[in-house]
Amino acid sequence: MSLTIVAINHAKPKDKTYRLYDEKGLYLEVTKAGGKLWRLKYRIGGKEKRLAIGTYPEISLKDARAARDAARTQLAAGTDPSEYKKLMKATAFSDKANTFESIAREWHSGQSRVWSPIHTKNVSDRLSRNVFPYLGNKAITDITVPELLQVLRRIEARGAFETAHRVLGNVSEVFRFAIASGKADRNIAVDLKGALQPVKKKHLAAVTDPKRAGELLRMIDSYSGTLTVQCALKLAPLVFVRPGELRTAQWRDINLDLAEWRYTVTKTQTEHIVPLSTQALEILHIMHPLTGRWEYVFPSARSRHRPMSNNAILSAMRRMEIDKEEMSGHGFRAMARTILDEVLGYRPEIIEQQLAHQVRDPLGRAYNRTTHLEERRAMMQAWADYLDTLKN
């Protein structure tokens, strides 16, 4: 006799688990705790087996019978329903692990160990806002070139052309990681080379005229903000490191006796040496009694355990009415590169190495951190002296 909904609803728990049978092997198992579980009894290869279909009322009587009929169809084709169900679960788990978002986050987690915190956050935000909502849940092998292009066109539609190029670069890196991990066999991002709107090159603002550089230095000297920001501003043109490297400078990397600052370059992950001029040492000696017992040379105004804000120097320059179109925090590097070459006549390879750029010898080998160190030490002192003459 077939089961009815009324009979199912009136079934109460007993001291032992019992069964209410329907048809063709389907039955409802009522547990001592009151649970009602759909099961299918069947035979394959001469063995009796059970297939778990689900719980009532989540799985209705009608749905349970449909699942039973599907399983019997599989049996007729020689397929074991239980083994098929296990395969589907494994496939679903594999598909979830191979979605673009899961692979991208795995790639991002590995890369973040060597990236700066700001770059780590920027890449994560870029993918979360622009890619994951559209492609995140898709298996990486199912993503097509037109789908990826559509994502990038959305970014271009709001005028963010540079962001579109950055997103494409990040997506390409994720695909390369997936190929290396055995989760993809080709990088579809390479098919979009030349498909995006070109980005107009815009150099970071920098003062490279010696006369204007002198005026800028005098403005910095007269800055009336906090001593921390004032000292960072004064040190920036003397060492011309990347803005992020200046604001995160740590005392453990600075040897005042040897007049050297040794640290790992965030962009290339190579060790770098900055010889410190007497003028740079003077600034650091001013800061040391104030922050020398802490980690950062230029700590945040809100917490000594964090470095100075990445906007601190830029904000200070704006308060001094130095226009953003004229000078940026990165501009001190361009100023040094231009004037050291065109005015003071230093060899380009010496300047480039001091800028922590990848410089190679005639045989194509990258110079190590100590190459030309004495020449660079003399150059850094001459540069500081020249800046003094510009100010005066």
Candidates 52, 59, 95, 51; CA nearest to 75 is: 51
71, 81 contact by CB (below 8 A) = yes
Q: Is 357 a catalytic residue?
A: yes
What is the C-alpha separation between 26 and 2, in angstroms, rounded? Answer: 10
Cross-strand partners of 299: 307
What is the C-alpha separation between 8 and 77, in angstroms, rounded? Answer: 32
What is the C-alpha separation between 320 and 312, in angstroms, rounded? Answer: 13
Give me Rg for the CA atoms of the chain: 33
82, 39 contact by CB (below 8 A) = no
The catalytic residue among 267, 288, 372, 391 is: 267
The catalytic residue among 166, 357, 372, 391 is: 357
Altogether, the residues listed in the chain come to a count of 392
98, 90 contact by CB (below 8 A) = no
| Tokens 């749905």 found at | 63
* Positive/negative CA dihedral, 373, 374, 378, 384: positive
What is the C-alpha separation between 217 and 69, in angstroms, rounded? Answer: 84
- Return the SS3 of 251: helix
The catalytic residue among 333, 337, 376, 377 is: 333
Q: Is 267 a catalytic residue?
A: yes
By CB atoms closer than 10 A (0-12, 13-18, 19+), residue 43 is: exposed
What is the C-alpha separation between 215 and 213, in angstroms, rounded? Answer: 5
What is the C-alpha separation between 142 and 379, in angstroms, rounded? Answer: 56
| Tokens 């040794």 found at | 262
Q: Is 56 a catalytic residue?
A: no
Q: Is 242 a catalytic residue?
A: yes
Candidates 273, 194, 204; CA nearest to 239 is: 273
Q: Is 18 a catalytic residue?
A: no
What is the C-alpha separation between 261 and 380, in angstroms, rounded? Answer: 12
The catalytic residue among 242, 247, 376, 377 is: 242
The catalytic residue among 18, 84, 134, 367 is: 367
The catalytic residue among 330, 337, 376, 377 is: 330
For 28, phi then psi, to 5°, come to -110, 125
Q: Distance of alpha carbon 262 from its chain centroid, rounded?
A: 26
Secondary-structure percent of the chain, ordered helix, strand, coil, rounded to 5? 50, 10, 35
Q: What residues act catalytically?
A: 242, 267, 330, 333, 357, 367
